[in-house]
Every structure is written in C-alpha cells, then in structure tokens.
Structure 1
Amino acid sequence: MKEKQSLIEQHFLKLLEAHRFREITIKMICEEAHINRSTFYSYFLDKYDLLDRLIDHHLSALNEMSTQFLTGLEEQGDRHELSKAFLKDQFQYIYDNKVFFKTLMTVHPAQNFTQKFIQMLRVNYLRMIENQNIQYAEYFVNYTLGGQFGIIFFWLQNDCPESSEEVADIVYRNILKTNR
C-alpha cells in the first residue's frame, strides 16, 4: 500500500521539477506513475492534498529533529556540540530530500511551503533560545532565519556542492558571528 503512495509522490515531484504546479493534472501524475486514476484517488483527494501532505511530512520530520534537539539540551546541556549536530542533521535531511526542497524552494517556488517552513523554523528557534537572555529575541531569530534561508536557497540552487556538514558549519559560525 505505502509503496504505491510513495510511487505517486516520487513521480509527482518529478513532474514538479519540469512543470509549474498549476499545469500538473491528475492525468499527468497517473501517466507518469503508470497507475489508474482510481489508484491515485485511493491515496489522495486531489493534487492539492498530495502537495500538502508532502509538505506536512517533511516539515513534521524537521520539527521532530528540533524537538529532539530541545530534549537533548534539557538533558545534556552542551549547547555548542548539540547545536552543531542538530544543524548537520537538519541539512542532511534537506540534502537527502533535495528534489523536494530544491523544487519547492528554487525551481518552482511554492509560497505556502516557504511560509510554513520559515514559520516552523521561527517557532523552533524561539523555543531554543527562550532561556538565553538574548536582547530582542524576535529580531535575532528573524535575522538568523533570513540568513539561514538564504544559505539553504543558495545551496539548493547550486545543487548542494558542499556537504551537509560544511553548510551546517557555515550556518553555525554565522549564528555565532565568527564568520563575519
């Protein structure tokens, strides 16, 4: 069962690389995935449902990483090493799902994805720094997110030439202001 759903999602992403979302039809998805319309509709209501579920899946996975990071901070407390590991894991996830992120951020940007992605990051960063006595925390987080989003965009747009570890280090050093 899950196999067919994954097949539909993969072929939908392949279509998204070549076509704008509004141009893609259920017929195109079914032809690309070599399935019947009834098979598509047994998993998804329509193409909007398919896109929303893909977005929710990836944002939930990234959100879970943030939750695990926060739990680790409470239990262990070594903020620097945990932060580096968290950023590396986050960028590795983006790299492992490069087609999805690259397509929705750079090839055919999806505004609803970008807004949800940035909001999820914002909420998690605010949670991460809530006990850090940072002046104007909202401004710091928004500034940091603007830079991080720009780095993610640039990295994806250039087909991820650096490793996830290298990009995580770039972001980490910029957050600490040691790379300016």
Structure 2
Amino acid sequence: MDNVDRRIIKSQKAIQSAFLTMLIEDGFDEISVKKITETADVGRKTFYLHYIDKYDLLDTIVNQRLEELAEICEQKKDKGFIEGTIIWFHYFEQHKAFFSALFASKSTVSFRDQLLGFIMDQLIKKIDKSDPEKDNEILLKFLSMATLGIVESYVLNQLKGSMELVATEVGELIMQTISLAGQKNSST
C-alpha cells in the first residue's frame, strides 16, 4: 500500500511540476493535457486518474497556494496591518512567476475569483462589526477589489517601488479606509 501512495504522490508531483514549468514559460492558454503528460513522462490515463482537465489541475494548485497563504495569514494575525501586509506581499514575491502567469492568462477567471474570495475572507476579520445595523459589504468588496488590483499590478511589474514599499502603502490604505469607515459609522 505504501508503494501505491508514493507512486500516486510521485505522479502528481511530476504532473504539477510539468504544469508549473509550462505555465510560467508558455502561459496557461498554451498548455494542453498532451503537453503536460509528455513533459511529466506520464500517460494520459495517469493524468485523468488525478485531474479532470487542466482547469482542475490549476484549481488544485491554486487551492494549495491559498492554503499556504491562509497559514501565513494565521501566523501574521498578531502583527499590525503594515507588517502583516509586507509578510503577505512577500509570499507573492516568492511566487511571482506563478501568479504573473495566472494574471496574464485570459482563461483563469476562476483563479481571480478564488483569490478575491480569499482576500475578502481575510479582510472581513479586520472590519469593525460593532454596528450590527451597518452592512459592510461595499467596504469589504471595495477593499478586496483594490487589494486584488494592486497585487495583480505588482506581480505583473506595473508598479514602481519595492515590494516593501507597495505592501506598506497597501497596508496603510486598508488601515486608513477601515478606520475612516468606522469613524463615519460612529458619527451617523
């Protein structure tokens, strides 16, 4: 039984490794299952034992990345906004080629949706819930979309400045916006 588990893990790692290499070098839109199996040196049957198609494989890898991000967010929860945001952006810096390939693709809408949902889940923990009458949906969506846009621009090298500078400014803007929204709520 142990050999089977190791073979499955070995096959999945080979498939994911081949996929990631092609994603970064060629872009998601150019990848086919045939190319993945040839590069990974596995049969198509082996690929289809583990994944429905290249989108399923992408979702699996994106979910792994989001789990890693969730662990980072859990570790940084006691940090301030700015220090926590720098730690978060550091993760994107480490995996810049991967995220850049996803943001550059026309076919990875589900990735954007997953990342947006993840950002919203993290930000809702930071937004003041002291006023049960106040619906923070617009504030949450605004901050999440803004953060997603900045992450995308950063990963695609469309922003000037170091990772620390970008992350610091994002952290400050989130903190100021949440604070301003809280002040507005208490004065109404």
Q: TM-score, normalised by structure 2?
A: 0.72
CA distance 1:92–1:4, shift in 2 (3 Å): farther
Give 1:112 deviation, angstroms.
0.7
Kindly state the Cα deviation for residue 162 of structure 1 after the two structures are TM-superposed.
4.0
* TM-score normalized with structure 1 length: 0.75
Q: Which runs of 5+ in 2 are unaligned?
A: 1-5, 178-188
Bigger Rg, which one: 2
| Equivalent position SS for 1:129 | coil
What aligned pairs does 1:1-80 form with structure 2 within 5 A after superposition? Answer: 1=6, 2=9, 5-17=12-24, 18-21=26-29, 23-33=30-40, 35-37=41-43, 40-41=47-48, 43-70=50-77, 72=78
Q: Is the 8 A contact 2:28 2:101 kept in 1?
A: no
Q: Which runs of 5+ in 1 are unaligned?
A: 73-80
Structure 2 matches for 1:1-180, cutoff 5 A? 1=6, 2=9, 5-17=12-24, 18-21=26-29, 23-33=30-40, 35-37=41-43, 40-41=47-48, 43-70=50-77, 72=78, 81-108=79-106, 110-131=108-129, 136-158=135-157, 162-177=161-176
Deviation at 1:98, TM superposition (A): 1.4
Question: Secondary structure at the residue paired with 2:125?
Answer: helix
Number of corresponding residues: 167
Cα displacement string for residues 96-122 of structure 1 (whole angstroms, at most 9, x for unaligned residues): 111221111224451111111101111
* Cα gap change, 1:165 to 1:109, in 2 (>3 Å): farther
AA aligned opposite 2:109: Q
Secondary structure at 1:175's aligned position in 2?
A: helix
Aligned to 2:181: none
Alpha carbons of structure 1 residues 160 and 108: separation in structure 2 relative to 1, 3 Å: farther
84-93 vs 38-47, which moves further: 38-47
35-44 or 104-113, which deviates more: 35-44
